[in-house]
Amino acid sequence: MGFPKFCVISLILLSVVILQTAGATLTTTDHEFLEDLEKRAFQFFWEHSNNGTGLTLDRTRTTGEAAAPGTHNHNIASIAASGFALVSYCIASNRNWAQKNELLTRTRNTLDFFAHRAPHKEGWFYHWMDAETGVRRWSSEISSIDTALLLGGVLTVKQCFKENEEIVRMATAIYERVDFRWMLNGDANYLSHGWTDENNFLASRWTDYSEQTMLNLLAIASPTFNISWTTWYALKRDYRTYKNHRYISAVPPLFIHQYSHAFFDYRGKRETFSNFSVDYFENSVVATRVQQEFFAEELSGKWPHYSANLWGLTASDSADGYKAWGAPPEDPTTDGTVVPCAAGGSLMFAPEITLPTLRSMKEKYPHTYGRYGFADAFNPATNWTNSDVLGIDVGITLLSAENLRTGKVWAWFMANPEAQEALRRVHLLDVATSTSSIMASTNMPSTVPPNLDTTVTQTSSSVLTKSSVLLWLFILSAIHRTM
């Protein structure tokens, strides 16, 4: 019988396909681990997003309970978590984790709420809202970054459910209503962090390269209220050095390298100006590796449980309250805590270190792995385990895992013409084609206005997907002939 030999051959071919589509070699066990982690994350969004408003709770217990009436967190919803929830419906639909019609209903209700009923200011939304009623909670600000993360979800469902006219229409209306120019509050380049009813605009502005790049890009490519492309080049690039690594990092928490990268596909792209030719995807890869090395080589001296497979700090809960911590350098309040979404949100960047880390956390500390995946944080030194999960931390882990496995979140989001247009306007172009010729030019001025006529080159991801499809067809026809 030729069957076993045929199996071996098709397995080899299959692994080539996996390698091509995911950009990383994932074993069956890796996929099983990620499938379970992602499914639990989806479960969080499914169970804790309000059916009427679509608003997602900011946090719940790891066991699934929501904050009781009368408590501080009761019905507190986060619009950023609601953006991640929308993406989770695309992933669930694609992976058949829930009924398509129920996912569509939830998505439609969410968009209907934000398009027609949610309080807003020039299209921008409050950071915290009541999940049931949508009213402003905790005297929160109208938030530019949180609205941008919500828009990430809105534009993702616009593409993944593009056959649904109502979804497309409402998603378009929500994005096109956002007045990005208003959020400049008179500045030429830097958007404000937000606005409050009491104090008007917040004084702080988005001046650094950090988690908000999608906010800037969505503003630059807005069909209705676009701001100047110069915003991109006005962002400060704050370089840090660790050993032989040099990378941009305004602050130590890892999430600043993750959020916008879950939507915008920065892979294989560089700017084409003489002074700017950063590969931002690679920058996030380096930031992840630096953090792992710093824990394994430096912090493990003080906390021996830290190792190459047990590390990670990014903004999270701690035994001592919420902390915006990270590394390097060492945060003075570091106490041995591990934050799983540090590695989780970087699955798409450095799976060779983040995946073994998460798998080993689950194996060694099974009590930290609950209904929605990992507890937000835990401390192996004291055996403190956070009782909560946070929507945005569950969300970034889910999106990063899916991008690692299939690149689908990138593919859906980047199918929006505005996402492509944004990269074109700031001249973040495909490395392989455009950059080499432009960079080779000897008389590059130090700053050059983007040439708006440059045509967008095909991204490497879509090229990969297409060649994978061709390879699949080839294998299928080969199998057919063998049989």
Ligand X SMILES: *[C@@H]1O[C@H](CO)[C@@H](O)[C@H](O)[C@H]1NC(C)=O
Identify which range of 2-10, 224-232, 237-245, 393-401 contacts ligand X by CB under 6 A.
Answer: 224-232
Amino acid in position 136: R
Identify which range of 204-212, 220-228, 284-292, 338-346 contacts ligand X by CB under 6 A.
Answer: 220-228
DSSP state of 451: -
**Cα 213 off chain centre by:** 11
Quick one: 146 or 421, whose CB is closer to ligand X? 421
- Out of 15, 200, 224, 275, name the contact with ligand X by CB under 6 A: 275
44 vs 84: CA distance, rounded Å: 11
Q: x-or-dash pattern for ligand X, window 418-447, by CB under 6 A? A: ----------------------------x-
86 vs 108: CA distance, rounded Å: 10
Instruction: Output the DSSP codes for 29-65.
Output: HHHHHHHHHHHHHHHHHHHHB-TTT--EESEEETTSP
Query: Residue count at the site for ligand X (CB under 6 A)?
Result: 10
80 vs 423: CA distance, rounded Å: 23
Q: Is 103 in the site for ligand X (CB under 6 A)?
A: no
Q: x-or-dash pattern for ligand X, window 142-181, by CB under 6 A? A: ----------------------------------------
Quick one: 189 or 283, whose CB is closer to ligand X? 189
Q: Is 228 in the site for ligand X (CB under 6 A)?
A: yes
CA angle, residues 126, 131, 132, in degrees to nearest 5: 125
36 vs 470: CA distance, rounded Å: 30
Closest approach of ligand X to the CB of residue 101, in Å:
9
Question: CB count, 10 Å around CB of 329?
Answer: 11
Task: Show contacts with ligand X in window 21-80 (CB under 6 A).
Answer: 51
53 vs 81: CA distance, rounded Å: 13
Q: Is 315 in the site for ligand X (CB under 6 A)?
A: no
- Out of 43, 284, 385, 459, name the contact with ligand X by CB under 6 A: 385
291 vs 293: CA distance, rounded Å: 5
Task: Show contacts with ligand X in window 350-379 (CB under 6 A).
Answer: 367
Task: Give the H or E element holding residue 398.
Answer: helix 391-405
Closest approach of ligand X to the CB of residue 386, in Å:
10
Q: Is 383 in the site for ligand X (CB under 6 A)?
A: yes
Q: Given the rule CB under 6 A, which residues bind ligand X?
A: 51, 102, 226-228, 275, 367, 383, 385, 446
